Amino acid sequence: MSIRSIKIQCIFLILIAPLCCLSQWSWQNPLPQGNNLSSVRFIDQNTAFAVGDGGTIMKTTDKGVTWTRIYLGAYQDLTGVFFVNQQVGFVTGANYYIDSGYIFKTSDGGNSWTKLPVVFDWPALCVWFTDENTGFVGTFADLYKTIDGGVTWNLVTQFPYYNTCWSIYFTDIQNGFIGTSGHVFKTSDGGSTWNSIFYDPAGTHIMSLFFTNQQTGFGVGGSGYNGKILKTTDAGLSWNTTSVPDFLNFVFFANNQTGFVLGLSYIYKTNDGGITWAPQLSPVTDYLMSGSFSDSLNAILVGYHGATVLTNDMGLNWNAVSSHATVNNLWSIYFIGNELGYASGDSGTIIKTTDGGNSWHSCQTGTNRLLYCLFFTNSDTGYVCGSNNTILKTTNGGTNWSSIFSSTGINDFNTIVFPSFNTGYALGPGLIKTTDGGNSWAFKSPTGISNNSMCFTNENTGYICGDNGQILKTTDGGNSYIFLNTGMTQNISSIYFTTKYTGFITGNNFVAKTTNEGETWSIKFSDAMRPYNAHSMHFSDSLHGFLVAVDTVLITNNGGETWQITLTHDYTKYLLDAIWFTDSLTGFITGENGIILKTTSGGVITGFIPAPSIDYINVYPNPNSGEFQIQSCSHVSEIQVYNLNGFMVYKSRTNINSDLLRINMNPCNSGIYILRIVFQDRTISKKLIVIKD
């Protein structure tokens, strides 16, 4: 496929209406939702739209105080929003997994959206229309134009490799500007031809443009942690620059004198038409990516993790509408009853709810280790295990946590269970056991199996599952083991017993059941597409069971004999890691970036046919300091990292058959990079942000 030719799909326009049936899951953290928001725009004094990752479209009719989700029915990351008038609007989308771009259109004020019959060769990043028919879309490498309202698109101009088109702004139907990597281009003939009017040899990425009148305009961007504010007073013939030690994402103005620039560290404000800029602290710690004024006083800012910030006094004060207890990955969730629950995750995170998940607050753990698994023996006494020999205990409901294990022989613990108040087991590369509530531990290490998960049905009888269909069973508290014959070769990632006799295992693309203490197993669910690396399973009773993997929830209402698939694509694109149901109807999911979803209807989505899953890649942390991990559902052949000028800055081939890769691309500079993850049959691209202290 040529990257310089546009692909027109021979398909009918697909009307994508809001799906009322998707109310079965609701966000609990972050609030009002946690998908990254990339663009916001007012269409009148009260109504605005914000768009972002995972097909997120949010609408407000009260200047941003409250928001409702419009379900697009598509899962692309949405990058830009533009309304020609109160009825006609456009949204650009990007599929970074296959390096392609999309555009959606509404003709009824955003109530329903049509996916236009075009697929751009690169992710679409920005959009601008000069009237209902004439519009432009910028991608990673090209600029496209339509003159028929988006039905057909023509390639207008091509940029050097990875000279990304970040922003578009037109002052009238003839005069427009685009910001790229190191350049500002201008057209004076309605976009037919474009000429470079500004060049920065430092390669500053011009992320945003804004003009207060025909002559006066601004551009902002950065390279690494060096930001620049550009200003012209002669329609782009000349530019003055102001440097700030911050990467700058967006610029917009309330009037000719008062304007704002959104950086990674600060909000910058000018009251003198851009002559001077003063930094303001943001009320949120999340990166802010876009802003829009409805009038001279009221504005909305949006950004990462669903960040939403308002002002009603022209930026004298900024107030956060959004909130979150954490945005760290949450690996585990555990409830004691219907109201009291805990979740644990990265950087020593434990959060707690006492009202059934309606609100969450942080617990102080005294560690920054990854905390993989929680277990509570009652409302006061609980345990958590994690990386680097971490086992913590609380005896006061999570208020305080203390370390109860120390050793140099075991690295990461992934599972901890207590079949009785004092007797417990922790699993990592080996198995350890306590009979005195964690005061002392003895090694009970099984051999010949990778230890992925475990389950104990009483103090002495337990099961450890691993790769290649292997399960070990002990009936004497870990002193001896026997191999069970599962008849399978798939890796087993999770095991769960509802009774002494009845248990379940899951992994890549299957669920199997035993009714005789593991002697024999029968497949109850198998799908070549789903679930990928299923690793969390929970039963609220002997009949009602739930399993989560990536974007998929499997539900059984008949003791695991049959399973129904539902997806969470329409809520988030974040990876899902853990599931817990307090009864057959009320359940919770936790996962990447602090996501917590809740259902009170059993999680079943009716009237909606899920689209096939595609490969999902979790890159975390992102942003990072040059060191990060890649969690993949398939074997990775090679890792490549490019800067935005198209130069490869890191390359690594891997023959490790693992779903978790640790990457260190240092030494490297702060900035935005393109991460390319190469498989045997495809390549997936993701944006990577590196920030140096």
Span of 412-416, 450-454, 475-479, 501-505 with lowest mean pLDDT: 450-454
DSSP 623-652: SBSSEEEEEESS---EEEEEETTS-EEEEE
Query: Per the CATH hierarchy, to which homologous superfamily does domain 35-165+291-310 belong?
Result: YVTN repeat-like/Quinoprotein amine dehydrogenase (2.130.10.10)
With a CB cutoff of 8 Å and minimum separation 6, the contacts of 611 are 75, 567, 569
pTM reported for the whole predicted model: 0.84
Our CA angle for 29, 31, 36, nearest 5°, is: 90
**Residue 421: exposure state from Cβ atoms within 10 A (0-12, 13-18, ≥19):** exposed
DSSP lists the bridge partners of residue 127 as 137
Look at residue 20 and give its three-state secondary structure: helix
Mean of all residue pLDDT scores within the chain: 88
Convert 484-508 into a string of H (helix), E (strand) and C (coil): ECCCCCCCEEEEEECCCCCEEEEEC
What was the pLDDT predicted at 447?
63
DSSP lists the bridge partners of residue 579 as 589
Percentage of the chain exceeding pLDDT 90:
67
What Å distances lie between residue 574 and 151, 452, 567, 591, 619, CA to CA? 32, 22, 12, 7, 11
Model confidence at 145: pLDDT above 80? yes
DSSP 174-229: S-EEEE-BSEEEEESSTTS--EEEEE-TT--EEEEEEESSSS-EEEEEEETTEEEE
Q: 125, 165 in Cβ contact below 8 A?
A: yes
Q: 163, 122 in Cβ contact below 8 A?
A: no
Distance CA 347, CA 37 (A): 24
* pLDDT tens digits, one per residue of 563-606: 988 766 667 778 889 999 999 999 999 999 999 999 998 987 54
What Å distances lie between residue 270 and 248, 276, 385, 631, CA to CA? 15, 6, 50, 43
The domains spanning 35-165+291-310 and 617-690 adopt the same CATH topology: no
Instruction: Name the DSSP letter for residue 613.
Output: P
Within 13 A of 549's CA, how many CA atoms are on the CB side?
Answer: 26
Our CA angle for 197, 201, 206, nearest 5°, is: 60
CATH of 617-690, one of 3.30.390.10, 2.60.40.3080, 3.40.50.1820, 2.40.10.220: 2.60.40.3080
More confident residue, 286 or 140: 286
What was the pLDDT predicted at 6?
33
Mean pLDDT computed over 386-395: 96
CATH code of domain 330-599: 2.130.10.10
Q: Domain limits of the chain?
A: 35-165+291-310, 330-599, 617-690
More confident residue, 604 or 507: 507
Model confidence at 621: pLDDT above 60? yes
